[in-house]
Chains A and B, each alone.
Chain A
Amino acid sequence: EPEVTQTPSHQVTQMGQEVILRCVPISNHLYFYWYRQILGQKVEFLVSFYNNEISEKSEIFDDQFSVERPDGSNFTLKIRSTKLEDSAMYFCASGGRSSDTQYFGPGTRLTVL
């Protein structure tokens, strides 16, 4: 069964450093998403992406964040200058249609020191 994959599973970085989180969505999906979950808290929507552009973003997704689909298979989330409060699990998801079932990857645990 096709699945969403994410790398790395765990990323440790120093405050102020840039990180890139990578995702490979399910191959025939057209809609892509990033979410984050701070330890013990709810899953929060960050951004949705369709047709090579952002379709929706939350207030969390400020200028420090960017997304890209560089090569037709990968979907990346970049955090330009990490802060302590960016420490969280970051989940990528993909879906075949808007407002359809989203399939989540296993997550990347980001730890900012």
Chain B
Amino acid sequence: SQQGEEDPQALSIQEGENATMNCSYKTSINNLQWYRQNSGRGLVHLILIRSNEREKHSGRLRVTLDTSKKSSSLLITASRAADTASYFCATDLYNFNKFYFGSGTKLNVKP
């Protein structure tokens, strides 16, 4: 299937450390998006990276995309307890208006 799959499934770090999450997918895409979801809440869009981009930054977030390996990574620098959430990547099918989410990485940042 097309679904992005995140790795690791769970990550526990201390406040101030960096957190890296990875996403792999299977077919050509237009773009890849990262979302955050706090427990039981809605999805918050973090960053979109297009297939012709290799790296994007937004505040403490850094996203890379390697289309040859069909993978992306999300780096959160200097993590805070408030970053505790599940993080999902979502990919579209090239030329199709449908999107697939992975199972997510559950990040726990300990104060």
Residues of A within 8 A of B (CB): 31, 33, 35, 41-45, 48, 50, 55-58, 91, 93, 98-107
Contacts and interface: CB of A to CB of B under 8 A. Distances in A.
Given A91-B43, A103-B45, A107-B42, A42 B31 contact: no
Interface string B79-110: 00000000010101000111111111000000
Nearest to B100: A45
A43 to B, nearest CB: 4
Interface core residue of A41, A42, A48 (most chain B CB under 10 Å): A42
Contacts of B88: 42-43
B41 to A, nearest CB: 7
12 contacts: A31-B97, A41-B103, A42-B102, A43-B43, A45-B99, A48-B98, A50-B97, A57-B98, A98-B97, A99-B30, A101-B48, A106-B41
B42 A42 contact: no
Interface residues of B, number: 23
A86 B82 CA distance: 32
Contacts of B35: 104
B77 interface: no
